[in-house]
Amino acid sequence: MDRDLEAAFRHVEELLFGGPSRPGLTLYDLQRLVGYPAKGKEPYVHTLPALPGVQAVRLYYYPEDPELELIVEIVDREGKQHLRHFRWNGVTWETPKGKKGELKATAVPQGPLRVGEDYFLGFAPEEAVALEAALRRGEALGLKYLLCPRCRTRIFYAYSVNLQGLACPTCGNPTLLFKTLAGEERKDPLEALAEEQRRLRLALEELLAYLKRKLGP
Ligand SMILES: [Zn+2]
């Protein structure tokens, strides 16, 4: 686990919720920090003084959104964003329903995670789910993955992952192929079906035309 990232999260936690030496940040404090309403337009953002081992820590304020008023952004040393969401409930900061508010470094599981028909290595579960959805929408072109030539299992991996000694999580085959996601890789099943039907109809029309020519009207 990244120590500096953990420390940055602890720093933000103390800032928001207070610690032994100081009270927590109120909505009013946040508004003053980001220059609301004096600044007059978004983004209302405040960058905290530099912390060791992370690139930036920023607080974003959204005055228009009653459900989500504060986003904490921590950019780690690799440039990866960690976002946490909060809402002011009149007394303290709470996490809006369905959002991520836990002030801890994102835990990345060691082994490959299965989402849908594919595996994801080196991604947090929510990232893997988002990636899988992007794959299904055909929006993840250029993404790198390993393909098992034996069982066609795909393993998408993060840049930081050490792939040495990795075997197929489905069949155990240790010889995996490096691939890059191209356009035609895997279509939406419905789209594939429609295309198949178009092809069949065309073949049928050609056959009918051929028969007409051969047999006469
Ligand atoms: Zn396999």
SS3 at position 113: strand
**For position 155, what pLDDT does the model report?**
95
Task: Give residue-wise pLDDT tens across range 36-68.
Answer: 999 888 889 999 999 999 999 999 999 988 888
Q: Which of 39-43, 100-104, 126-130, 195-199 has the lowest mean pLDDT?
A: 195-199
The H-assigned helical ranges of 18-104 are 27-34
Asked whether residue 15 carries a pLDDT value surpassing 90, the answer given is yes
Distance 128 CA to ligand 1 centre (A): 20
Distance 115 CA to ligand 1 centre (A): 16
**For position 141, what pLDDT does the model report?**
80
Percent helix, percent strand, percent coil in the chain, to nearest 5: 30, 20, 50
Distance 154 CA to ligand 1 centre (A): 8
Distance 195 CA to ligand 1 centre (A): 29
Distance 189 CA to ligand 1 centre (A): 22
Distance 201 CA to ligand 1 centre (A): 36
Q: Tell me the HSE value of 206 on the side-chain side, using a 13 A CA sphere.
A: 6
Task: Give residue-wise pLDDT tens across range 132-153.
Answer: 988 888 887 888 899 999 999 9
Entry pTM: 0.53
Distance 119 CA to ligand 1 centre (A): 11
**For position 20, what pLDDT does the model report?**
82
Distance 147 CA to ligand 1 centre (A): 8
Phi and psi dihedrals of 205, rounded to 5? -60, -40
Parse the chain into domains and list their residue ranges: 3-94, 113-180, 188-217
**DSSP secondary structure, 134-168, as one string:** HHHTT--TT-EEEE-TTT--EEEE-TT---TT---
